Amino acid sequence: MADRLKLELATPTRLVVSGEADEVVVPGVEGLFGVLPGHAPLLIRLAIDVLRIQLEDGRWEVAVVDGGFLHVTNDEGSTRVDVLATSAEMAGEIDRQAAQARLEQAQARVAEGDDAAGRAELAKAMARTGLDG
C-alpha cells in the first residue's frame, strides 16, 4: 500500500490542486466520504460543500467544490484521486465579504419562492461563508 495519495482537483477551466495528500475528505451527495492510500477504485458524485485535504505535516487545506465527481483508482499500490469539479476555490481564494453578500442575495431569492437554481446558489454561498480553514 502506498503511503500517499496522488491528488488532482480540477475544474473545466483550471487545475486547482496537483500534488500528494495523506487523506482527502469530499462531500458526496450521500454524505462525507474519506479516501486514504490503498482505497478501492470508486466513482461518486459530489455535492456543493467543503473538500478537505490532509497534507504530509498533518495540516488540512480546505476548498469549496460546486458539485462534480470524485474518481479513485488504485494501480500497483499507487492510489490516485481525481476530483473533477464544476467549480472549485481554495479557502484562501475566497473573498469572504463577497461570499456574505452572495449569501444574503441567495437567501432573499429562496425566500421569494421554491426555486432550484436559488437553492443551489444558497448552498454555494453557505459553503463559502461557513469555511473554518
Average pLDDT over residues 29-44: 95
Average pLDDT over residues 119-128: 84
User: Which pLDDT score, from 0 to 100, does residue 133 have?
Assistant: 43
The pLDDT confidence band at residue 9, using thresholds 50, 70 and 90, is very high
The structure's pTM equals 0.84
Average pLDDT over residues 72-97: 92
83: left (phi over 0), alpha (psi -120 to 50) or beta: beta
What's the mean per-residue pLDDT of the chain? Answer: 90
